Protein backbone atom coordinates (compact mmCIF):
# COMPACT_ATOMS: atom_id res chain seq x y z
CA UNK A 1 0.00 0.00 0.00
CA UNK A 2 1.30 3.40 -0.96
CA UNK A 3 0.89 5.90 1.87
CA UNK A 4 1.69 9.56 1.49
CA UNK A 5 1.31 12.72 3.60
CA UNK A 6 -1.38 14.92 3.02
CA UNK A 7 -41.56 37.36 -9.99
CA UNK A 8 -43.28 38.44 -6.75
CA UNK A 9 -41.94 40.53 -3.95
CA UNK A 10 -41.71 39.11 -0.47
CA UNK A 11 -42.12 41.09 2.72
CA UNK A 12 -38.41 41.74 3.13
CA UNK A 13 -37.81 43.37 -0.24
CA UNK A 14 -36.36 46.90 0.08
CA UNK A 15 -36.17 46.53 3.87
CA UNK A 16 -33.30 48.41 5.55
CA UNK A 17 -30.27 46.35 6.45
CA UNK A 18 -30.13 45.12 10.03
CA UNK A 19 -27.85 42.91 12.02
CA UNK A 20 -28.21 39.22 11.17
CA UNK A 21 -30.96 37.74 13.33
CA UNK A 22 -32.37 41.11 14.45
CA UNK A 23 -36.16 41.39 14.48
CA UNK A 24 -37.92 43.66 12.01
CA UNK A 25 -39.53 45.59 14.87
CA UNK A 26 -38.06 47.23 17.94
CA UNK A 27 -34.38 47.95 18.46
CA UNK A 28 -31.89 46.36 16.13
CA UNK A 29 -28.99 44.40 17.49
CA UNK A 30 -25.85 46.35 18.24
CA UNK A 31 -23.01 45.56 15.84
CA UNK A 32 -20.78 45.24 18.89
CA UNK A 33 -22.98 42.67 20.60
CA UNK A 34 -21.43 39.22 21.02
CA UNK A 35 -22.38 36.97 18.17
CA UNK A 36 -24.52 33.93 18.69
CA UNK A 37 -23.94 31.03 16.37
CA UNK A 38 -27.03 30.11 14.38
CA UNK A 39 -26.25 26.56 15.43
CA UNK A 40 -23.69 25.27 17.88
CA UNK A 41 -22.23 22.93 15.30
CA UNK A 42 -22.63 22.70 11.56
CA UNK A 43 -21.81 19.06 11.07
CA UNK A 44 -20.92 17.35 7.83
CA UNK A 45 -20.00 13.79 7.01
CA UNK A 46 -20.62 11.89 10.25
CA UNK A 47 -21.07 8.14 9.98
CA UNK A 48 -19.66 5.81 7.33
CA UNK A 49 -18.29 7.30 4.13
CA UNK A 50 -17.42 5.04 1.22
CA UNK A 51 -16.14 5.23 -2.33
CA UNK A 52 -12.75 6.27 -3.65
CA UNK A 53 -13.22 10.01 -4.22
CA UNK A 54 -15.22 10.66 -1.05
CA UNK A 55 -12.81 8.75 1.19
CA UNK A 56 -9.62 10.19 -0.30
CA UNK A 57 -11.03 13.70 0.16
CA UNK A 58 -11.77 13.00 3.83
CA UNK A 59 -8.32 11.50 4.39
CA UNK A 60 -6.70 14.55 2.77
CA UNK A 61 -8.60 16.97 5.01
CA UNK A 62 -6.49 17.90 8.07
CA UNK A 63 -9.65 19.06 9.85
CA UNK A 64 -11.01 15.52 9.94
CA UNK A 65 -10.54 12.98 12.71
CA UNK A 66 -10.70 9.45 11.32
CA UNK A 67 -12.03 6.77 13.68
CA UNK A 68 -11.84 3.73 11.41
CA UNK A 69 -10.45 3.05 7.92
CA UNK A 70 -11.21 -0.15 6.03
CA UNK A 71 -9.49 -1.18 2.79
CA UNK A 72 -9.59 -4.31 0.71
CA UNK A 73 -6.21 -5.61 -0.38
CA UNK A 74 -7.02 -4.68 -3.96
CA UNK A 75 -7.88 -1.09 -2.99
CA UNK A 76 -4.77 -0.81 -0.82
CA UNK A 77 -2.59 -1.78 -3.77
CA UNK A 78 -4.49 0.42 -6.22
CA UNK A 79 -4.88 3.65 -4.25
CA UNK A 80 -2.41 6.26 -3.09
CA UNK A 81 -4.01 6.67 0.32
CA UNK A 82 -3.15 9.78 2.37
CA UNK A 83 -2.23 9.33 6.01
CA UNK A 84 -5.34 10.18 7.96
CA UNK A 85 -3.79 9.71 11.39
CA UNK A 86 -4.95 6.10 11.54
CA UNK A 87 -3.62 2.72 10.43
CA UNK A 88 -5.97 1.15 7.89
CA UNK A 89 -7.43 -2.30 8.41
CA UNK A 90 -7.01 -4.61 5.42
CA UNK A 91 -10.21 -6.64 5.18
CA UNK A 92 -12.22 -8.80 2.81
CA UNK A 93 -14.89 -7.01 0.73
CA UNK A 94 -17.73 -8.68 2.63
CA UNK A 95 -16.44 -7.11 5.87
CA UNK A 96 -17.04 -3.65 4.38
CA UNK A 97 -20.37 -4.81 2.96
CA UNK A 98 -21.61 -5.60 6.47
CA UNK A 99 -20.86 -2.07 7.66
CA UNK A 100 -22.85 -0.36 4.91
CA UNK A 101 -26.40 -0.37 3.54
CA UNK A 102 -27.13 -3.25 1.19
CA UNK A 103 -26.20 -2.90 -2.44
CA UNK A 104 -23.87 0.10 -2.23
CA UNK A 105 -20.70 0.20 -4.34
CA UNK A 106 -17.85 1.00 -1.96
CA UNK A 107 -14.91 0.37 -4.32
CA UNK A 108 -13.01 -1.38 -1.55
CA UNK A 109 -12.68 1.59 0.80
CA UNK A 110 -14.80 2.92 3.67
CA UNK A 111 -14.14 5.02 6.73
CA UNK A 112 -15.84 6.47 9.76
CA UNK A 113 -14.95 10.05 10.65
CA UNK A 114 -15.88 12.72 13.17
CA UNK A 115 -18.23 15.42 11.88
CA UNK A 116 -16.88 18.59 10.35
CA UNK A 117 -17.53 21.91 12.06
CA UNK A 118 -18.11 24.99 9.93
CA UNK A 119 -18.45 28.67 10.87
CA UNK A 120 -21.97 29.89 11.54
CA UNK A 121 -24.09 30.97 8.60
CA UNK A 122 -23.98 34.47 10.07
CA UNK A 123 -20.20 34.59 9.76
CA UNK A 124 -20.24 33.07 6.27
CA UNK A 125 -22.86 35.56 5.07
CA UNK A 126 -21.00 38.52 6.57
CA UNK A 127 -17.69 37.65 4.92
CA UNK A 128 -18.99 36.54 1.51
CA UNK A 129 -17.89 38.57 -1.53
CA UNK A 130 -20.21 41.09 -3.20
CA UNK A 131 -21.15 38.49 -5.80
CA UNK A 132 -21.67 35.80 -3.16
CA UNK A 133 -24.09 32.92 -3.61
CA UNK A 134 -25.87 30.84 -0.98
CA UNK A 135 -27.93 27.79 -1.95
CA UNK A 136 -30.89 26.97 0.32
CA UNK A 137 -32.64 23.60 0.13
CA UNK A 138 -36.19 23.68 1.47
CA UNK A 139 -36.91 20.18 2.78
CA UNK A 140 -34.96 18.37 0.08
CA UNK A 141 -34.06 15.07 1.70
CA UNK A 142 -32.90 12.77 -1.11
CA UNK A 143 -29.17 12.14 -0.49
CA UNK A 144 -28.37 11.71 -4.19
CA UNK A 145 -29.92 15.07 -5.09
CA UNK A 146 -28.25 16.83 -2.17
CA UNK A 147 -24.89 15.25 -2.99
CA UNK A 148 -25.21 16.37 -6.61
CA UNK A 149 -26.07 19.91 -5.48
CA UNK A 150 -23.03 20.02 -3.21
CA UNK A 151 -20.92 19.15 -6.23
CA UNK A 152 -22.60 21.93 -8.22
CA UNK A 153 -22.14 24.36 -5.33
CA UNK A 154 -18.41 23.67 -5.37
CA UNK A 155 -18.21 24.17 -9.14
CA UNK A 156 -20.00 27.54 -9.02
CA UNK A 157 -18.27 28.96 -5.95
CA UNK A 158 -21.22 28.89 -3.55
CA UNK A 159 -20.40 30.22 -0.07
CA UNK A 160 -22.69 27.79 1.79
CA UNK A 161 -25.46 25.24 1.35
CA UNK A 162 -28.29 25.59 3.87
CA UNK A 163 -30.70 22.82 4.86
CA UNK A 164 -33.38 22.40 7.52
CA UNK A 165 -32.09 20.43 10.48
CA UNK A 166 -34.91 17.88 10.73
CA UNK A 167 -35.19 17.27 6.97
CA UNK A 168 -31.52 17.06 6.01
CA UNK A 169 -30.24 13.65 4.89
CA UNK A 170 -27.23 12.20 6.73
CA UNK A 171 -24.08 13.98 5.58
CA UNK A 172 -22.31 10.71 4.86
CA UNK A 173 -22.97 7.54 2.89
CA UNK A 174 -24.66 8.01 -0.47
CA UNK A 175 -24.63 11.80 -0.18
CA UNK A 176 -20.87 11.91 0.39
CA UNK A 177 -20.22 9.48 -2.47
CA UNK A 178 -22.29 11.49 -4.96
CA UNK A 179 -20.62 14.72 -3.78
CA UNK A 180 -17.21 13.19 -4.73
CA UNK A 181 -15.31 15.03 -2.00
CA UNK A 182 -17.16 18.36 -2.11
CA UNK A 183 -18.52 17.73 1.38
CA UNK A 184 -15.02 18.66 2.58
CA UNK A 185 -14.98 22.08 0.90
CA UNK A 186 -18.55 23.44 0.95
CA UNK A 187 -19.91 24.63 4.31
CA UNK A 188 -23.20 22.91 5.10
CA UNK A 189 -25.33 24.91 7.55
CA UNK A 190 -28.23 23.19 9.26
CA UNK A 191 -30.91 25.67 10.35
CA UNK A 192 -34.08 25.08 12.35
CA UNK A 193 -36.36 27.44 10.41
CA UNK A 194 -35.69 28.16 6.73
CA UNK A 195 -38.06 31.15 6.45
CA UNK A 196 -36.51 32.86 9.48
CA UNK A 197 -33.05 32.16 8.09
CA UNK A 198 -33.99 33.82 4.80
CA UNK A 199 -35.28 36.87 6.65
CA UNK A 200 -32.02 37.12 8.57
CA UNK A 201 -30.08 37.04 5.31
CA UNK A 202 -32.36 39.69 3.77
CA UNK A 203 -31.71 42.02 6.71
CA UNK A 204 -27.99 42.07 5.95
CA UNK A 205 -28.43 42.73 2.26
CA UNK A 206 -28.89 39.36 0.57
CA UNK A 207 -31.48 39.08 -2.22
CA UNK A 208 -33.57 35.90 -2.04
CA UNK A 209 -34.86 34.22 -5.20
CA UNK A 210 -37.02 31.11 -5.04
CA UNK A 211 -37.53 28.78 -7.99
CA UNK A 212 -41.19 28.29 -8.86
CA UNK A 213 -42.47 26.89 -12.13
CA UNK A 214 -45.78 28.77 -12.22
CA UNK A 215 -44.41 32.33 -12.12
CA UNK A 216 -43.88 34.35 -15.31
CA UNK A 217 -40.56 35.93 -14.34
CA UNK A 218 -37.54 34.05 -15.73
CA UNK A 219 -34.20 33.55 -14.00
CA UNK A 220 -32.40 35.60 -16.65
CA UNK A 221 -34.47 38.64 -15.56
CA UNK A 222 -33.60 38.36 -11.89
CA UNK A 223 -29.88 38.21 -11.17
CA UNK A 224 -27.87 41.44 -11.01
CA UNK A 225 -24.09 42.00 -10.90
CA UNK A 226 -22.48 42.68 -7.51
CA UNK A 227 -25.50 41.44 -5.59
CA UNK A 228 -25.33 38.86 -2.84
CA UNK A 229 -27.83 36.27 -3.95
CA UNK A 230 -29.66 33.43 -2.18
CA UNK A 231 -31.21 30.75 -4.41
CA UNK A 232 -33.94 28.66 -2.78
CA UNK A 233 -34.86 25.24 -4.13
CA UNK A 234 -38.00 23.37 -3.08
CA UNK A 235 -38.52 19.62 -2.95
CA UNK A 236 -39.59 17.82 -6.11
CA UNK A 237 -43.37 17.69 -6.19
CA UNK A 238 -44.35 20.01 -3.31
CA UNK A 239 -41.95 22.79 -4.31
CA UNK A 240 -41.37 25.67 -1.92
CA UNK A 241 -43.45 25.70 1.24
CA UNK A 242 -45.89 28.60 1.55
CA UNK A 243 -44.05 30.63 4.19
CA UNK A 244 -40.72 30.14 2.44
CA UNK A 245 -42.31 31.20 -0.85
CA UNK A 246 -43.77 34.36 0.72
CA UNK A 247 -40.44 35.25 2.29
CA UNK A 248 -38.59 35.27 -1.05
CA UNK A 249 -37.96 38.69 -2.62
CA UNK A 250 -38.58 37.20 -6.05
CA UNK A 251 -39.96 34.01 -7.55
CA UNK A 252 -38.54 32.96 -10.91
CA UNK A 253 -38.73 30.02 -13.26
CA UNK A 254 -36.55 28.17 -15.72
CA UNK A 255 -38.16 28.56 -19.16
CA UNK A 256 -39.19 25.22 -20.65
CA UNK A 257 -41.27 24.22 -23.63
CA UNK A 258 -44.71 22.75 -23.07
CA UNK A 259 -44.77 19.13 -24.14
CA UNK A 260 -47.48 18.00 -26.56
CA UNK A 261 -46.80 14.38 -25.64
CA UNK A 262 -48.91 12.92 -22.85
CA UNK A 263 -46.80 11.70 -19.96
CA UNK A 264 -43.62 13.42 -21.10
CA UNK A 265 -41.76 15.15 -18.28
CA UNK A 266 -42.42 18.87 -18.06
CA UNK A 267 -40.22 19.48 -15.04
CA UNK A 268 -36.57 19.05 -14.14
CA UNK A 269 -34.84 17.03 -11.48
CA UNK A 270 -34.15 19.42 -8.59
CA UNK A 271 -30.36 19.03 -8.87
CA UNK A 272 -30.52 19.78 -12.60
CA UNK A 273 -32.64 22.86 -11.90
CA UNK A 274 -30.17 24.00 -9.23
CA UNK A 275 -27.32 23.68 -11.71
CA UNK A 276 -29.14 25.86 -14.25
CA UNK A 277 -29.97 28.46 -11.59
CA UNK A 278 -26.38 28.61 -10.32
CA UNK A 279 -25.04 28.88 -13.86
CA UNK A 280 -27.45 31.71 -14.65
CA UNK A 281 -26.51 33.54 -11.45
CA UNK A 282 -22.80 33.27 -12.21
CA UNK A 283 -23.31 34.26 -15.85
CA UNK A 284 -25.03 37.47 -14.82
CA UNK A 285 -22.41 38.26 -12.20
pTM over 0.75: yes
- Distance of alpha carbon 94 from alpha carbon 187, whole angstroms: 33
Stated as kind and residue range, the H or E segment containing 173 is: helix 173-178
Please check whether residue 22 is in contact with residue 28, taking contact to mean a CB–CB distance below 8 angstroms.
yes
User: pLDDT tens track of the chain, all 285 residues?
Assistant: 444 434 444 444 444 455 666 654 444 343 333 344 433 333 444 489 999 999 999 999 999 999 999 999 999 999 988 866 789 999 999 999 999 988 889 999 999 998 899 999 999 999 999 999 999 999 999 999 999 999 999 999 999 999 999 988 999 899 999 999 999 999 999 999 999 999 999 999 999 999 998 888 999 899 988 899 999 999 998 899 999 999 999 999 998 876 545 444 457 899 999 999 999 999 876
Give, to the nearest 10 degrees, the angle between helix 143-155 and helix 270-284.
20
DSSP string, 194-218: HHHHHHHHHHTT-EEEEE-TT-S-B
Torsion angles phi and psi, residue 3, rounded to 5:
-105, 140
For the chain, list the domains and their CATH numbers. 43-116 (3.30.1330), 118-256+268-284 (3.40.1280.10)
- Distance of alpha carbon 105 from alpha carbon 97, whole angstroms: 9
3-state class of 52 per DSSP? helix
User: 105 exposed, middle or buried (CB, 10 Å; 0-12, 13-18, 19+)?
Assistant: exposed
Amino acid sequence: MNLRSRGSKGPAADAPKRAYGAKSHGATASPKSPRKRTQAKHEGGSGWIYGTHACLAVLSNPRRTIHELLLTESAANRLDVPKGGITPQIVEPHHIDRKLPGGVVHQGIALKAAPLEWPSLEDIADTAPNDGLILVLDQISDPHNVGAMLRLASAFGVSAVVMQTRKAPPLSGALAKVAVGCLESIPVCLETNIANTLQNLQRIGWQVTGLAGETQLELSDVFQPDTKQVIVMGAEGPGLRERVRKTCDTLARIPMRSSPIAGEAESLNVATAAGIALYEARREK
